[in-house]
A and B are shown apart, each in its own frame.
Chain A
Amino acid sequence: DAGITQSPRHKVTETGTPVTLRCHQTENHRYMYWYRQDPGHGLRLIHYSYGVKDTDKGEVSDGYSVSRSKTEDFLLTLESATSSQTSVYFCAISESANFNQPQHFGDGTRLSIL
């Protein structure tokens, strides 16, 4: 299994509070991604990173920000959580975008916003 650790695994918080999810990898892969999974939507890309300090938006980026100060860590922040951000969040990594290689996923963070 790819060395990907997501923390926390579960979190319950209140509307309006800031939340930060962490993804840590030990594979030294260049690319890292944050997805959310919701019923009826599959997995949707929030943000991704193609190197340290290099990030870009995905299809559902509103209300989220990311940071990558080290190769191994990719943080997802909800500045002011809303109930619509209740979801399961997955981090993924991939080695290169130059060749067709699969992304590998962490085990997810289940986030509930009350």
Chain B
Amino acid sequence: DQQVKQNSPSLSVQEGRISILNCDYTNSMFDYFLWYKKYPAEGPTFLISISSIKDKNEDGRFTVFLNKSAKHLSLHIVPSQPGDSAVYFCAAKAPRSSGDKLTFGTGTRLAVRP
């Protein structure tokens, strides 16, 4: 029962263009969403988050959009750079979930071509 889904296992984008990574969820109780980036042989690194009371959050080249009615969030990277090549995980948290537990998607591998 995958409550957080990333249906695209991989994405290839030209340098300078926009990268759009998608994530769908099924649990309507989730109220906080995060994106993590992971390089090989390293741990996931927090990238950006959004609360369910917002529909957009921006941090430099990274913007996360949340569509609660569709239970869908997306991460936009503009412009994409070769250093952005990594695996991206979305994660979600339910309110008052014991221990602040996160549910992760399966990840999308982004390749940015020079």
Tell yes or no: B69 within 8 A of A by CB: no
A97 touches B100 (CB 8 A): yes
Tell yes or no: B78 within 8 A of A by CB: no
Tell yes or no: B62 within 8 A of A by CB: no
Q: From B99, which residue of chain A is reached at the shortest CB distance? A: A48
Interface string of B46-59 (1 = CB under 8 A from A): 10010100000000
**With A102-B34, A105-B44, A106-B43: A94-B107 Cβ-Cβ less than 8 Å:** no
Count of interface residues, chain A, beta-carbon cutoff 8 Å = 29
Query: A94 CA to B105 CA in the complex, in Å?
Result: 19
Interface string of A27-71 (1 = CB under 8 A from B): 000010101000011111100111000001010000000000000
B45 touches A105 (CB 8 A): yes
Q: From A6, which residue of chain B is reached at the shortest CB distance? A: B43
A100 touches B101 (CB 8 A): no
Tell yes or no: B98 within 8 A of A by CB: yes
Find B89's partner among A43, A56, A106 (CB 8 Å cutoff). Answer: A43
Residues of A within 8 A of B36 (CB): 105
Interface string of B1-41 (1 = CB under 8 A from A): 00010100000000000000000000000001010100001
Query: A40 CA to B109 CA in the complex, in Å?
Result: 12
Residues of A within 8 A of B93 (CB): 100
- The residues of A with any CB-CB pair to B shorter than 8 Å are 4, 31, 33, 35, 40-45, 48-50, 56, 58, 90, 92, 94, 96-97, 100-108
Instruction: Write 19 A-B pairs (CB below 8 A) sorted by A numbering.
Output: A31-B100, A35-B104, A42-B104, A43-B89, A44-B104, A45-B101, A45-B102, A48-B99, A48-B101, A50-B98, A90-B44, A102-B34, A103-B46, A103-B100, A103-B102, A104-B46, A105-B36, A105-B43, A107-B43
- The residues of B with any CB-CB pair to A shorter than 8 Å are 4, 6, 32, 34, 36, 41-46, 49, 51, 89, 91, 93, 97-102, 104-107
